[in-house]
Amino acid sequence: MSVRVARAAWARGWGAGCRCGAADFPLPPPRAVDVAELLRDATAAEEGPREVAARRPPGQCSVLLFPGQGSQVVGMGRGLLRYPRVRELYAAARSVLGYDLLELSLHGPQEALDRTAHCQPAVFVASLAAVEKLHHLQPAVIENCVAAAGFSVGEFAALVFAGAMEFSEGLYAVKVRAEAMQEASEAVPSGMLSVLGQPQSKFTFACLEAREHCKTLGIENPVCEVANYLFPDCRVISGHLEALQFLQKNSSKYHFRRTKMLPVSGGFHTRLMEPALEPLAQVLKSIGVKKPLVSVHSNVDGNRYMHPKHVQKLLVRQVVSPVKWEQTMHAIYERKKGMEFPQTFEVGPGNQLGTILKSCNLQAWKSYRHVEVLEDDGT
């Protein structure tokens, strides 16, 4: 018997309010039409996304990529406000967060938006608002979506899109995560260093020597390790500031072509974030996590989430584990020679994930588009 399976969990959950923690956040009523209606019959729903994808020509399928912290910019969301339900998303966010996220996103100031506690919810909401725009302009892209992935906090948006969480509960989890990571980052002077290397670059050895340097400065248990695998020969190294400064000073020794400190407040995706684990684990236990309705790939290992407990476990581990984005791109776009690639849409501020995709898989990138969130370009 034919059924229509809702893809957009943030729409499905709007009537109930957020059930996480002590507060009950009143949210707008559910929409009349769900954003994404991907699986067309019960058999397809049982088979899962790989089998569904096999029924369509690959070029008609789509993949959504959700950006992470660092993509935020004042003005994001301006290009989304005329689309159905976007203002209601931001109204719901105000109820969950307790402040006007739309005002902060549109008008800043940038230093306030850049705070971890603010930018993670801001990127999360802007990304799902971009999905609203994409659905309005190109509904077939949503209907034919077979996979999604999000970079760090973007993974929460990908899971909400895929039906694994309701919008309000996903946002509440992001709020708790962001505030806990902000607090952890303020405890130790730390940061993140983007490194463009070359085949002979010695990332592991460089991190080892940077940690040894920190020990000579009296720093106990120093942290310096690869936190993001972006594309071949490009990594982000995270840890104590003294370690990162050492790497910049000695970059030629390790065959680094270019280094740049990132505008973030802490050594994310390392054990420096351990204080954030328990708060996030507790909130994830309190919300109704479901199995994703399309493939969502985990940052921890690049593989698809298989069941709700898998989601809860790896979202916590992700906070202290490197983001294996390069591996994720290979997992999503691996295919036989001559087979078409799906359309790829980056939904959210910035086009960094598209740039990375170009370096990971040039052929897949040729079918890439970005959904603009700053101005309305009619994407």
Cα gap 195→363, rounded to integer Å: 24
Cα gap 62→221, rounded to integer Å: 44
pLDDT in tens, 253-272: 999 999 999 988 899 999 99
Q: Residue 162: which domain range? A: 9-185+273-371
Cα gap 355→359, rounded to integer Å: 7
- Residue 199, pLDDT score: 94
Residues 239 and 159 in one domain: no
pLDDT band at 182 (very low <50, low <70, confident <90, very high): very high
4 in any annotated domain: no
| Among candidate residues 193, 296, 292, the one with its CA nearest the CA of residue 250 | 193
Residues 41 and 88 in one domain: yes
77 in any annotated domain: yes
Residues 142 and 28 in one domain: yes
Tally of domains within the chain: 2
| Among candidate residues 122, 338, 352, the one with its CA nearest the CA of residue 228 | 352
The pLDDT of 76-102, averaged and rounded, is 96
Quote the pTM value. Answer: 0.88
CA-to-CA separations, 322 to 31, 184, 236, 271, in angstroms, rounded = 37, 17, 9, 10
Residues 181 and 69 in one domain: yes
pLDDT band at 48 (very low <50, low <70, confident <90, very high): very low
**Beta strand pairing status for 258-261 and 190-196?**
antiparallel
AA letter at 67: P
pLDDT band at 3 (very low <50, low <70, confident <90, very high): very low
CATH of the domain at 203: 3.30.70.250
- Residue 138, pLDDT score: 96
Helices 154-161, 116-137: inter-axial angle, 10-degree rounding: 40
pLDDT > 90 fraction of the chain, expressed in percent and rounded: 80
Asked whether the predicted pLDDT for residue 22 surpasses 80, the reply is no
Mean pLDDT, the chain, integer: 87
CATH of the domain at 79: 3.40.366.10
Asked whether the predicted pLDDT for residue 206 surpasses 50, the reply is yes
Residues 173 and 253 in one domain: no
Residues 16 and 137 in one domain: yes
Q: Which residues are catalytic?
A: 152, 269
Contacting residues for 138 by C-beta, under 8 A, at least 6 apart: 379
pLDDT > 70 fraction of the chain, expressed in percent and rounded: 85
376 in any annotated domain: no
Asked whether the predicted pLDDT for residue 192 surpasses 90, the reply is yes
Specify the higher pLDDT residue, 277 or 378. 277
| Among candidate residues 146, 159, 188, 180, the one with its CA nearest the CA of residue 345 | 146
349 in any annotated domain: yes
Residues 130 and 217 in one domain: no
Residues 18 and 79 in one domain: yes
Residues 251 and 363 in one domain: no
Residues 118 and 181 in one domain: yes
285 in any annotated domain: yes
Three-state DSSP class for residue 191: strand
Contacting residues for 333 by C-beta, under 8 A, at least 6 apart: 341, 360, 361, 364
- Residue 208, pLDDT score: 98
- How big is the CA angle at 55 (ends 343 and 155), to the nearest 5 degrees? 45
Specify the higher pLDDT residue, 156 or 57. 156
> In this structure, are residues 321 and 299 in contact, taking their beta carbons and an 8 Å threshold?
yes
The pLDDT of 342-358, averaged and rounded, is 97
